[in-house]
Structure 1
Amino acid sequence: MISYSYMDSVENKIKNGETLDENEIVYLYDSASLRDLGRLARSITDEISGNRVSFVSNLILNYTNICNVRCHFCAFYRKQTDSDAYTLSVDGVVDEIKKYYEPYGIKQLLIQGGVNSFLDLSYYTELFQRIKKEFPRLGIHGLSTSELHFISLKAHIPVKDLLIKLRESGLETIPGAGGEILDGSVRKRMGRPEESGRQWLEIMEEAHKLGIHTSATMMFGHLETSMDKAHHMLSILELQKKYHGFLSFTPWNFEPGNTELAKEGYKYRSGGVSVLKNIAIARIVFNKDLPVIQSSWLTNGMQMAQMAILFGANDWGGTIYDEKVIPATGKQVGNLRKDYIINSIKQLNMIPVERDNMYRAIKTY
């Protein structure tokens, strides 16, 4: 039994800017009290951003649901032959953005879909060029590492050259999608290629070397152990210390509805304690090296997003209009407009700060 003094030593390491080791992170997951985690996490966030909480006017656009990876935790993907399979044309994507860009002041476009073997590199370069032409104030936050890896293979070019071409076409940042849990054995059980965790890190590193900023994520509440999560975060932290290319980190919980993992027995989503614990531990582990921890309201709901702020998160995430991936699990999330986010942050006696895709402040409310 580890005594409370062990938590004292963890706190001292954090205050001195030292990196926790894997066993200390496992201790935080398995033995530390939620109260202690929240207190320490929020104290770190107070030093980083005080009582300011950022958010972005965001549009999530899923340009295709055709995917040849077929992850066991995903209910969104379809085969080309499925009756509800779709791929938006470039004009179709533009038409969709037009519905929201001016009316809602959209600043960030999170665009991703599936690993669609019917699409060539030219689809993406034409798409991004057109988006930047039509919507010049929109930051394109696009494509998972899985999509990028496949596009590079199909185009017969290295990932580095692909990223350069996409940046020239208008891509600004890369989301953390595809991170899940980086351990190869866990990924294999989730229906992912065993090497895809290593590929995620390699593609992120290529992006950071080029000066392209990215986000990082972790999906919890399924097959993973506390040690798996410790290794996941330490791998991201190691890369962050080299390039400081990650803009934010979002821990989000597995949604089991309509997925293969649910059929295998993983039927229940994580509860509130687990959600808050993952938020707090992420803040503690990344400390000031990765200043932004996102609350991920999309899978956790509005009230839990507010609690996440109290447990160390300092970014709400973004507005939502007709997102399709989470609803595919059967969980209805609806739309979330800017005024709802502002009010939810103010209810915490905190200051809402609207940001752009690069986390630069636009307006304080």
Structure 2
Amino acid sequence: MNRITLLAILLLITSILVSASTITVNTISTASGPSYGVYADGKIIIVAQGAFELQCIENNTIVNTIPLPHDPADPFKVAYDQGYLFVIYQKGPLVVLKDGKVISTYNIPHVGKYPDILTAGKYVAVTASNGYKVYFFTPSGEIGSVSVEPNPQALAYDNYTNTIYVGAYGYNVIDGISLSTMKVTQQIKINATVVDTMTFVPPDLLAVATYNQQVEFINVTSGKVVATASFSPPDTGIFGYSQITYDPADGYVLLSIAHHNDLVAVISTNGEVKYLVTVGNSPNGIIFDPQNNYVYVLNYGSNSISYFLSPNITTHTVSTSSNFTLLYMVVVVIIILLVVGGIVAFRRRK
């Protein structure tokens, strides 16, 4: 085998390695201001904040829209339970819809600018982000409330113990509410004082994203921080509009770097930032679709949804991340050396 043939083979192998190390990000155009969404019976339901509507996505296509009541406040986040959609507004009401029609409206005191909402067991929980309570609802009405640390703005549900965890702005304590007793039964101290978003990682971890530009992984049994992922400029931007979610297809968590940025971080539970995926402007909500293993990122600033296969499933999908930068530099250097070596060998043969 001559050197030119060897060079060609090495270049081919290198190109295959590069293509296998990248993640492809696709885009869906949406109505104005996509903020947050939820997976619901085979569909992705998103809030198009600027358009005052919900958009339903199936097979990566918008198939339906549901108008929302116009209010001085903006629709913000959505939860799904037993065929009902619960939409919480910023500094506004909680609206409950069934079959595209509003059936109930509730005014929550001190709901604030950063309320969180999620389905937890047989309830839908909503935080009063300018108050000190978490409110619980079912499709038939309000069940009650539980007092927690002031300014609660992040929720996570542990379905193993039927506990909902509540993180707050300005406090380094996470409250655990037993949904069996509707009482705070656990308090976990963290290193930061501003919790922006949380998610539960089975079987016993909380992933807590903080304004300190860190994600703390906490063992809920011991109450101890077991790993930490840290971000530094220019890859910072965790704040109140960020969202973190668990990807069961690969065991990672995914975090939108929402503030003046266009990144989603893919993080392992040992605190390693595996990838930084480039998406649209100001990514807010993140939804995982268990049917197709796609991750959907709602880009508030570019009126779009970025979507890509779960990183450990796909063999060719993310745009360049910091983890791959060194790899690309090494590959380029190898290619240059091989080309130069081939040219030198060719000239010597002449």
Q: State if a TM-score over 0.5 links the two structures.
A: no
When you count strand as a share of all residues, which structure comes out higher?
2
User: TM-score with structure 2 length normalisation?
Assistant: 0.31
Structure with the larger RCO, 1 or 2 (CA within 8 Å, 6+ apart): 1
When you count helix as a share of all residues, which structure comes out higher?
1
Structure 1 or 2, whichever has the larger Rg, is 2
